[in-house]
Structure 1
Amino acid sequence: MQGTQEAESAEAADMLVGVVEIGGMLFAIPIADVREVIPAPTRFQRLPSQHPDLAGGVLLRGKAIPVQVLHRRLGLDAPVLNGWDTDLSDRETTPDTPAAEGVIVVVRANGRVTGVLVDAVRCLLQLGDTWAQNLPEGQDDLICGGYICDTHGHFSMLSVPELLNIPLAPSDEISETARRRSRVRRVAYIRFRVGELNFLIAMKDIASTVPTSALEPWPVSGGSCLGLISRHGMEMPMLDTLANLGFSSTGARPTEASGVIIDFPDDHALAFNVDRVVSVVNVQEDAVYAFPPSVTSRWNLFDGVHIDEAGDQCFVINVAACREDADLLRLAATSHRKKPEPIKRMAASSQGEGRGSDNASEHGIGSPLLAGIRSQSNRYLTVCAAGDFAVPIEAVSEIMRVPVQFGEADFDGHLVNLSYRDRLMPVYDCAQRRGNGIGQFGTEAGILILNKDGHHFGLAVEAMKSIDTGRLKGFRNADGTASDMPSEQLVELGLGRASRLVPVEDPTVLLP
């Protein structure tokens, strides 16, 4: 026992600490837990937290780090920030108040990171060159030791675990929770709203989305059908979603509508009207629950219901059941292609393995250089950020509406830090990151949530246009072959005369 205590004392004596000044007093932090020291920013970023010791956040290599001002907790005078006295309890001014002169000590331990605003870094010391002091009873847990040095006098040791016991302190490594989540099977759904009801439909089951389009009259219009639309060279019915899924319909007969398209057997399709696409969400397979048949007369067309974090019910549509439903099959049979050319082209492209391989090579599809812009499911999300462009749907983890009003972006396009899954997520102006000016965010704006190196980032776009099937088409080289350079690619969305060429980008390349 005595040998163990001596070993611990020897280890403590060898500990190297950094001595910092806060409010005229000296404090120490173990150097082993200090990741780096950076200058204080001109302004702190706002944080979604009411913790009284948080001054705001700083962006460090693309990650938002919360910064603490410990003066209030240590019983010291609040720092003067650009001539203003900082009231740490005033959350209206503190998070966006100019920073004091000083530096930020970035502390890291057990995979968590936080910043501490200090007036200055004084020196480095070994504890073996100091004398330990007893702590008074009732001492704040933030102080874990007291020492006296011949040169600098008294200083107190700050507890690193207590410093990290702060809201929104992010992890700089993939946590066990993240690893556990990665093992849980999640399904990507589009969440949309019709009337007062929310619905989820699996992303993989959607052929495309339909922007607001004029409805053509149809003899069958009325009841469960609103009219006809043309999409990707096919004419198809636009259905009243509520009526066809067994809910009470409003009975409205609009002249135009937007919706989602589901493919049916034998090259048929149906469009279901949508009032508003809310977001794209990833839902655990075991988070969909059965509901009683009394909820809807067409309960067999659903997998169940999902309850989101806000407590809202979202009915999960079973597309496989829809494709076997007799009523929907009869309506789908009325859909038809206006021109036969797209079918012939598709059939020709699938004849012969060697020929298909040649086509893939011709358009650069097989090139590893195009991995970031190639969609494995041939589905692309078209967005607007100072101009339309498409991204592979697999590159986007989720899509969310803009929850706050953005201020001006920083020089690198950083707009704001949001709380996402209990962590800070930096959000950037997509238009500015593309070098196309400053984004204009209105009611159609959204945030693409991307996963990079185990961390989440947001790209704010002006509008989310549609989800379509498509294929890459490279610019032609002098020898007639297609380029395999990512910057020389377009994606052809749709088929036949309805097709269009749109620029395509890897959204993760736009991140800092």
Structure 2
Amino acid sequence: MTLLAERPSAAEELLSGAVPDNRSLVQIVTGTDTTVYGMFTIGPALVALPLSELREVIPCPSEFSQLPTRAPGLLGAVNLRHLVIPVLDLRQLIGIEDNSGTDVIVIVAREGRMFGLLADEIRGVVRVPNDALMEMVVGGAGVPLFQQSFEQPDDGSIVTVLDSAAIFELPGVPVVKESGTRNQSALAAAATSPDSADAGFIKAGDTNRRVVMLLRCANIGLSIDVNHVHSVIPKLVIRPSPLVGESCLGVVTLGGKSVPVVDSLQVLGFGQLPKNDTERGIVLTMSRGLVVLSVSDVTNIESVPATDVLPLPTAGMAQNRFVQGALLIPGKGQNLVLDGEALRSDAHLDNLANMGMPVEGSEEALAEEAARARKRAQEEVKTDDAPEGRRVVPVVKKMLTYNAGVDVASPLVQIKEILPYPTDYIPLDAVGAMIQGVFTHRRATVPLICLTTLLGRYEEVDRATARVLLVDAAGGYVGFIVPSLNAIEESIWEEVEDEQRGVGTDPLSRRLIKVGTAEAGRMLPEIDLERLAAST
């Protein structure tokens, strides 16, 4: 059962409300003025409910048990763990005639009362700033079911928020009382904390149950508590990036930022996802940004007893800090339960999240550049640490620092992609010391050039740790082999080009640039890879 719609345009934005111009993505993710919603479709309409009210999602039976009452949209009832849950079809109430494709029932719980809604598919969870909600006024004497909405920024499509309390006001509609006592403290926390909003959903009614999102990675079933999921990308379109390498597959655009995408299986130490099997994305909120876990599919949201999560065997199996245990869900198979807190506190993933950059030309990129310009105008940048006789100017830009026999830096915008050393290439090192060989990439042939050799440092390169920096050149790409990468850092100042001294007049003149901070930075030679590629 496919629960996420194929919507390529949505893969380019957060599944959330419009981002206000005066607030950053990090403020929206970490601020307290957000509400977590579960989204689903009813016919062609995209509908949302606060996650604290969306109890769980269950399969739709072939037929419903009949109730001795009549009400508009009432289909009957289902038995959910010995609770008789009335089920409504909102399409009959809002005038949607297409009844095809119904797959699931969304169980809604509010104020100690429960009912079910027929839905076509689940679209995952999403955080929406409260000030991004738009109020709607419905005329007439009927009961308004929708009084708020929010807009998706990529295509302008509207998500309407269902007022579940209005369902209780419909004439003749039965609801059932929840068993047990609601956890009011959890719900109070849900109203004030962006992370505990999801926890309120988990603890509402039954504190001994966990609500998990079921995932599939190749042939491995995974699950993660929904309170750790920021949002779901229904159609993952990964773009190339200099961040590619190790577990990072590339980036996806979310809210005006290029957010890193990682291979879930590789992060977990379970191998690698097939390249053609990265259909969905699970967005996690890290302390310094966002990161996307690529998965094959998102199959359901389930409410399960906490005691059903069983510890993994200690014999014959290595400990994995990202896995809490195993979970068997009848009809859904075996699943490894991920430790969402461990994933969100992982230093490697957090470092990747911190490397998310505003998309060039986006409102966020322009705002960030304007803020930097104001900061440079207001603050005196320390340049008195420049070497004697050298002229430097304050410059703030992203630099890739790496080793090429010596530590050097290059502007990140010059590097189109970072690749591992190719295992299959045509060796040409006998032709000349500079060119190591030629390989094909993205339907283009790329020459491999050893940068350490160009810099006059004839050192053996370990192909296991070496990387290839792909740079645009006239008529194609040039791949520069470097022994290892260091980090992506911001510059503080750079040396002014000086024709008399020869600084910056040729690709290997190595003008100096300082990265880090004014108090604790380091000076490195800057290599202009684009000029170097053009001169080869």
TM-score, normalised to structure 1's length? 0.47
Q: Which has the larger radius of gyration?
A: 1
